[in-house]
Structure 1
Amino acid sequence: MADYSNPSTPLTASNYAWSATLTCGPARPGAHVPAKDRTGSYSPPPGATVGRLRDGIVDMHARECGIPITDVVVVRFELREK
């Protein structure tokens, strides 16, 4: 099985299922930061890696929350072949 915790791991299967929990704002000690669970599927293009998929999920989350990418914190990320 591939090491999906390594961002440089190539995605070679035809389809994946992913789930992630991300925050909607900057994490600060003592502050309550709401988190959102997300799930989806992904059919990778040639040359795709775990890191590129994860970056895309972070970018999507930031755009939907209207916050800078640098304010998104990935709390949990899971990836499996379908």
Structure 2
Amino acid sequence: MITTECRACDMSVDLDRKALVKQYGASLRFVELRRRLAVGCEKMICADGQDRCQTRFPCLLQTNLYFEGSTSDE
């Protein structure tokens, strides 16, 4: 299972990893999955062009995995 949550929208959902791979393919990155999950969210792209969506994957932190470009100091 992949846990997804958004603090801004008070949303939390567990997604089936195998179903995601079947739907989007094994090469889908978490950054892309985040955008797909937030389609239609008014916080994703605000009028000023800033991404204020707070969708994240807490399960990655639990397994010590990080997004591209992040460091262990974050």
Relative to the length of structure 2, the TM-score reads: 0.45
Relative to the length of structure 1, the TM-score reads: 0.42
Which structure has the highest strand share of the two? 1
Which structure has the highest helix share of the two? 2
